């Protein structure tokens, strides 16, 4: 039989670590780029879009569709980086606590 009080203690520790991580996510920024760096996107640790940068060479009427595609690609890269970073942080945070697969805590 599992140690109920041990599990409760681990759950309490996890809760306080998760609260600290939520605060940290507000300060973290992840960047994604596309088009060889012509377009950049910044996301917060919570996935909120914080900024977009576009090289002046793309600001031509005939480049509109390309620019739109590059923004989407840069956002996708930043989102992938963020998801990888969050997965690593969660693994280190939950370290031995038996959580069900696929459980998302934030």
How is the chain split into domains, by residue range?
27-94
Question: Vertex 57, ends 64 and 52: CA angle to 5°?
Answer: 70
Block means of pLDDT (10 residues each) for the chain, length 106 residues? 74 81 84 94 89 91 90 94 86 66 56
Note the pLDDT of residue 74.
94
Indicate the CATH number for domain 27-94.
3.30.1310.10
Tokens of residue 106, six digits = 């934030």
Question: Vertex 57, ends 49 and 62: CA angle to 5°?
Answer: 90
Note the pLDDT of residue 104.
57
Note the pLDDT of residue 99.
58
């Amino acid at each position: 039989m599992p140690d109920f009080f041990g599990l409760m203690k681990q759950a309490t520790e996890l809760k306080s670590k998760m609260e600290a991580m939520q605060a940290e996510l507000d300060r973290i920024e992840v960047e994604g780029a596309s088009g060889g760096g012509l377009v950049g996107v910044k996301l917060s640790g919570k996935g909120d879009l914080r900024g977009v940068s576009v090289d002046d060479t793309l600001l031509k009427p005939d480049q509109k569709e390309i620019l739109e595609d590059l923004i989407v690609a840069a956002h996708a890269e930043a989102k992938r980086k963020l998801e990888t970073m969050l997965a690593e942080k969660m693994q280190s945070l939950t370290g031995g606590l038996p959580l069900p697969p696929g459980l998302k805590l934030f």
